Chain A
Amino acid sequence: MTAVFRQAGLALYRRRWLLSRRSVQLFILLAFINQLPAIGQIAQGNLASSLWFDTLPLSDPFIVLQSLLAGSSPAVTAMIGAALVAGFYMLFGGRIYCSWVCPINMLTDAAHWLRHKLNIKGNMTLSRELRKAVLLLALLLSLLTGSLAWEIINPITLLQRELIWGSAAGTTLLLSLFLFDLLVSRRGWCGHLCPVGAFYGVLGKFGRLRVTATQADSCKGAGCSACVKVCPEPHVLAPVVSGKQQRVTASDCTRCGACLDQCATGALSMQLDLGEARKFKGIPVVSRRDKP
């Protein structure tokens, strides 16, 4: 009997990061939808701009930036909201948004999981830099058309609108996104195309929350590579696994914690890295695959 509990406990422990971030994602998603009898609605609006507990305004800095480029004049509430959100991600790491907040992450993770289960090998190789081009494109188009260019198709707010206000017109877009990740390109959307992730990556480039090899000598390195295999952005772990760096400093790291769940030796941990700030200014060391 205790063995069963031990097994279950271990299984939970091996998924502690996954389960915590799924809880946070679901909480944020439900906070917009559910009317709790005791508190009322926790958050109003959607991820573009919202009001939490009837007091705290939060706005998506990417969407506000598009709006400013389109020619709007800045408004106090939206600017405060955007500054709060931007400040958080600049301090801790931009792509925390991708794995802890964005609801599309659940959709693409499901596609990736199914892809693995069905053993789908076919893969269209895309450059991870493509999303930065899409980001530039979205900003340029906002400037040119005087409209919020990315918001015409942004699947994040699209999904939220469908859930909160119960429409279904955008389901085809969400379905095609799922199928794209499942059949066409491995981690195609979040890892290669999405400009929102690219924006937060640039914004929180020097974020201080970092995967750190605390017990570097217990890491089996390239021989094990369990962490690299599960990482949605595997290139960020390369310098740590090869022993060149103690911390993951690449801006693409989403702090999803998949590597921490997977590491059997306990060599990795997530740490706030407040000291040694000067060490990490400059171009982070990333293995370049296109080098001969």
Chain B
Amino acid sequence: MKSPQPNSVEPPEPQRRQLFRQLFRYAGVALVGSAIGHALIRSRPLRSAEILRPPGALVEARFDATCVRCGLCVEDCPFDILQLASWADPAPTGTPFFVAREEPCRMCVDIPCARACPTGALSPLLTDIRKADMGVAVLVDHENCLNYKGMTCSICVRVCPIREEAITLKPIRSERGLLQIPTVMPDSCTGCGTCEKHCVLSEAAIRVLPRHLGLGVSGTNAVGRKAL
């Protein structure tokens, strides 16, 4: 718009005002974009119970912030069990995970994956692989587990790398006779997934779950009566 008076020439805009105008323009775009982007990122699938993090991984929210998705852990795993999540996987793109039923963690004593991590997303403080917490094995299906049917399969007990500690057989008397029930000791189990891998059923009856999904916690129920 030109002004009607020919002699009122608009003074040139001061540089500082130009700078602020530009700055606010960026900020505006970034604000609108971040509202949309935030919704988009939140709508992406969260980590599902099917994928497990390498040993030493920080709790999921901190892991997501700390991992730079470089894949050094993947390359240093001598058994090639780790992979980086692609777009199709139910985990943030580029983060490392393994699928226990396909390839369980072999629990190397020197933990090369955690040693390779440049950011500490796989904690350098983890020095004893038996202290790793990748999840916890849970006998999820009592109906199909062969030991519950009175047979002595016990493959999960026999393959467990933390022998006689993480999974043991507990005798239980039932109408079918004396059953030998595989029982997980959550404090000793690292969630390596060897039991899940070797379960003889076509779909495993014992599965590694993230600890918060696999274990109950004693204490007060918000609705029910007070714990004793």
The interface of chain A, by Cβ under 8 A from chain B, is 41, 44-46, 48-51, 57, 59-60, 63-64, 67, 70-73, 75, 77-78, 81, 129-130, 132-134, 136-137, 140-141, 144-149, 151-153, 157-158, 161, 164-165, 167, 169-170, 173
Asked if B90 is at the interface (CB within 8 A of a chain A CB), the reply is no
Residues A147 and B92 in contact in the complex (CB < 8 Å), given A70-B65, A170-B86: yes
The reply to whether the CB of B144 lies closer than 8 angstroms to some CB of chain A is no
For the side of the interface on B, what is the size category?
A: 35 or more
Evaluate contact between A77 and B84: CB separation under 8 angstroms.
Answer: no
Q: Mark B102-128, 1 if CB is under 8 A from A, else 0.
A: 000000000000001011110000000
Is B44 an interface residue, CB under 8 A from the partner? yes
Chain B residue with Cβ nearest A144: B38
**A140-B42 CB under 8 A given contacts A70-B65, A71-B62:** no
Q: 10 pairs across A/B with beta carbons < 8 Å?
A: A41-B75, A45-B75, A64-B68, A75-B120, A78-B118, A133-B29, A136-B30, A144-B34, A147-B65, A169-B87
Interface SS of B by simple majority: helix
Whether B42 and A145, one on each chain, are in contact in the complex, defined by CB atoms closer than 8 angstroms, is yes
A78 vs B71: C-alpha distance in the bound complex, in angstroms? Answer: 13
With A137-B34, A149-B41 as given contacts, are A132 and B26 in contact (CB-CB < 8 Å)? yes
Which of B26, B27, B44, B68 is within 8 Å of A78, CB to CB?
B68
> Which residues in chain B, 22-76, are within 8 Å of chain A measured between CB atoms?
22, 25-27, 29-31, 33-34, 37-38, 41-42, 44, 61-62, 64-72, 74-76
Asked if A48 and B120 sit within 8 Å, CB to CB, the answer is no
In the assembled complex, the CB of A30 is this many whole angstroms from the nearest CB of chain B, namely: 15
Contacts of B72 in A (CB 8 A): 44-45, 49-51
A57 to B92, CA, bound (A): 24
Residues of B within 8 A of A48 (CB): 68-71, 94
Establish whether residues A57 and B118, one from each chain, have CB atoms under 8 Å apart when the complex forms.
yes
Interface residues of B (CB under 8 A from A): 22, 25-27, 29-31, 33-34, 37-38, 41-42, 44, 61-62, 64-72, 74-76, 83-84, 86-89, 92-94, 116, 118-121
Complex interface: chain B residues within 8 A of A130 (CB): 29
Q: Specify which of A81, A141, A170, A173 is in contact with B118 (CB 8 Å cutoff).
A: A81
Whether A67 lies near B29 (C-beta < 8 A) is no
B76 surroundings in chain A (CB, below 8 A):
44
Which among A67, A129, A134, A149 is the interface contact of B68 at CB below 8 angstroms? A67
CB contact under 8 A between A147 and B64, given known A45-B72, A165-B83: yes
What's the minimum C-beta distance from A72 to chain B, rounded to whole angstroms? Answer: 4
Report how far A112 CA is from B33 CA in the complex, Å.
Answer: 28
B66/A72 in contact, CB under 8 A: yes
Q: Are B41 and A75 in contact (CB-based, < 8 A)?
A: no
A137 in complex: contacting residue of B30, B66, B67, B88, CB < 8 Å: B30
Cα A157 to Cα B74 with chains together (Å): 15
Please give, as numbers and ranges, the residues of chain A lying within 8 Å of B38 by CB-CB distance.
Answer: 141, 144-145
Residues of B within 8 A of A46 (CB): 69-71
Min Cβ gap A139→B in Å is 8
Kindly state the separation between the CA atoms of A190 and B120 in the bound complex, as whole angstroms: 32
State A72–B116 Cα separation when bound (angstroms).
18
With A73-B120, A145-B41 in contact, is A50–B34 under 8 Å at CB?
no
Cβ of A146: which chain B residues have Cβ within 8 Å of it? 61, 64-65
Residues of chain A contacted by B118 (CB below 8 angstroms): 45, 49, 51, 57, 59, 75, 77-78, 81
Contact B74 A78 (CB under 8 A): no
Q: Which residue of B lies closest to A170 (CB)?
A: B87
A137 to B26, CA, bound (A): 9
Using CB atoms, name the residue of chain A closest to B42: A145
Query: How far in angstroms is the closest Cβ of chain B from A63?
Result: 5
User: What's the minimum C-beta distance from A169 to chain B, rounded to whole angstroms?
Assistant: 4
Taking a contact as CB atoms closer than 8 A, the residue among A57, A73, A136, A153 that contacts B27 in the complex is: A136
The distance in angstroms between the C-alpha atoms of A134 and B30, with both chains bound, is: 7
Residues of chain B lying within 8 A (CB to CB) of residue A67: 65-68, 119
CA distance A91 to B42 in the complex (A): 38
Q: Is the CB of A59 within 8 A of B74?
A: no
Q: Judge whether A140 and B64 touch: CB under 8 Å.
A: no
Kindly list chain B residues whose C-beta atoms are within 8 Å of the C-beta of A147: 41, 64-65, 92
A48-B70, A133-B25, A151-B69 known; 5 new pairs, CB 8 Å cut-off, are A45-B71, A49-B118, A67-B68, A71-B62, A148-B64
